[in-house]
Amino acid sequence: MTRARRGKKLDLDPATVRRARTLARRAGRPIVRIAQTHTTMSVERAVLRMAGVAGADADGIPWVNRLVDAVRADVGLERGVAMPVWDAMARGSHDDLTALAQRASSGSVTFRIPEGREADRARRAARRDAGRGIAAIDRRRVERERLIRRVGDAPRQPWIYLIVATGDIHEDIPQAQAAAREGADVIAVIRSTGQSLLDYVPEGATREGYAGTYATQENFRLMRAALDEVSRELGRYVRLTNYASGLCMPEIATLAGLERLDMMLNDSMYGILFRDINPIRTFVDQRFSRQVHARAGIIINTGEDNYLTTADAVDEAHTVTVSQLLNEYFAKEAGLADWQLGLGHAFEINPEVPDSFRLELAHAMLARELFPAAPLKWMPPTKHMTGDVFRGYLLDGFFNLVGAMTGQGILLVGMMTEAVVTPFLSDRDLALQNVRYVLSAAGNLHEDFHPQPGGFIQSRAHLVLDEAVALLERIAAEPGPAPLLAAIGDGTFGLMKRPADRGKGYDGVFRQADDYYNPVTELLEVGHHA
């Protein structure tokens, strides 16, 4: 999916680059061990969704929530839901798992941990039903590949990424189709504000979201069908993005795979830092989610741009690089390939800073050369948008130019009224004109642009990389068995202090018992060697 990259222009020291990755791996390994030895409410609900549990009760609470709550009340979740649930299926006369969930919610089912032959029977049944869900995700991936071959793909990179989210999925659809006709290659449906803090996934098509549209399976299905329709009309496949983050990250990742989404926002630390979700909950959920994304052929987008909205984009540039290296390690450990790593960064330096454009160029080139095969996601200016639409349009043009000069893979369309008001459709049209002009006029400028050896841009890139290595060394020196958790608790990233034993969702984290069983993880890890 990514084109061959240019030769090295920054003259980065290979030993320093290797050192950075070694330190990221050292910081990340204890986190992976924690993820491998813990489970969460959402992981267990995702297992049931993979096996076909669907629907919600009259209050809108999904049956998977009711079923997991019932299992937890009877036997706890330290052994997972699979064994008690499929044991109950074998002992009862339930038509399917959803019917079991409905009866369990009324107290009509009692759960236990089976043993001996009954345990073997429950394990086989769980693996069979979970396997059907994974097979469905496999079919959707093949379907995507066939459709791209049939209708064609976007003719060039960067892909133009545009946000559409009115709160009403039935209004989003015509706007998304119109955006595709105007040149958008990727449509991102922003989630309704606060959905990341809901410990359940809403059900059905929704028409009332605030500053976004709820992520639901039915909304995914409707938007995917609409974009398939416009893809056939335009002769190029239009990709769909949503968010696999928050307290229901594993479930939303599962639903995305089942409904053939193409990209998901899935950052290793965003929920911890900016939503105060418990760090262990986030890392456990993230690993499961990324295993699903790897299987589904979904590209992840990470959220390093958010660091620069709370901290200075010059002084804290190295924290972006550190986060990118950590995201890369966690992603590859979970099975994602380079072409699936939409690592994030942003054009957020104060334009009043001398040489701000050169600094942005240095930072973007550094990301490009550290991750040459990844489709980097380049984010537009928001923090320093003032409401002056002329200045904003110029800043977005400079942002687009850096994207062209540095070969970014995914270019989020910036609008001149971004972060000031909800942009009008006319603002979107002008923003797309800006992107089209820059890419047409300067899209191949990366072939000609080479910074002066030892000059400002090279020196700045070297400094940021050195500072990133120094920060990773400080993280590695943190006390305790998981230094990265200590660093997050100390406020190392985004100026947010998030201790490992606090935060939303911590009561939904469980250390696995010795006989814990998860059929989905077992199937996803077959043949994967980190």
Q: Which residues are catalytic?
A: 270, 305, 377
* Cβ atoms within 10 Å of 378's Cβ, excluding its own: 28
Q: Which of 344, 313, 328, 304 is nearest to 161 (CA)?
A: 344
Rounded to whole angstroms, the Cα distance separating 173 from 188 reads 11
Please list the residues that pair with 378 across neighbouring strands. 345, 411
> Strands (DSSP E) along 143-282, which ranges?
159-163, 186-188, 239-243, 263-265
Please list the residues that pair with 377 across neighbouring strands. 344, 410
Rounded to whole angstroms, the Cα distance separating 487 from 476 reads 9
Question: In 92-216, which ranges are continuous DSSP H helix?
Answer: 97-105, 116-151, 169-181
Single-letter amino acid, residue 389: V
Tokens linked to 393: 């349009």
**492 to 24, 188, 256: CA distances (angstroms):** 15, 30, 32
Eight-state DSSP code of residue 268:
S
Single-letter amino acid, residue 160: I
Cα dihedral 186, 290, 305, 278 in deg (nearest 10):
140
Question: Is-contact 275 197, C-beta < 8 A?
Answer: yes
Rounded to whole angstroms, the Cα distance separating 18 from 27 reads 14
Q: Which of 40, 137, 36, 79 is nearest to 530 (CA)?
A: 36
> What DSSP assignment string belongs to 355-418?
THHHHHHHHHHHHHHHSTTS--EEEPP-TT--S-HHHHHHHHHHHHHHHHHHT-SEEEPP-TTT
Contacts of 447-453 spanning 24+ positions with Cβ under 8 A = 447/6, 449/9, 449/405, 450/9, 451/9, 451/10, 451/361, 451/362, 451/365, 453/11
Rounded to whole angstroms, the Cα distance separating 48 from 509 reads 17
Q: What are phi and psi of 260, to 5 degrees?
A: 60, 50
User: Number of C-alpha atoms within 13 angstroms, CB side, residue 310?
Assistant: 16
Helix, strand, or coil here: 300?
A: strand
Eight-state DSSP code of residue 186:
E
Tokens linked to 233: 């009309």
Please list the residues that pair with 300 across neighbouring strands. 264, 341
The burial class, CB within 10 Å (0-12 / 13-18 / 19+), for 326 is: buried
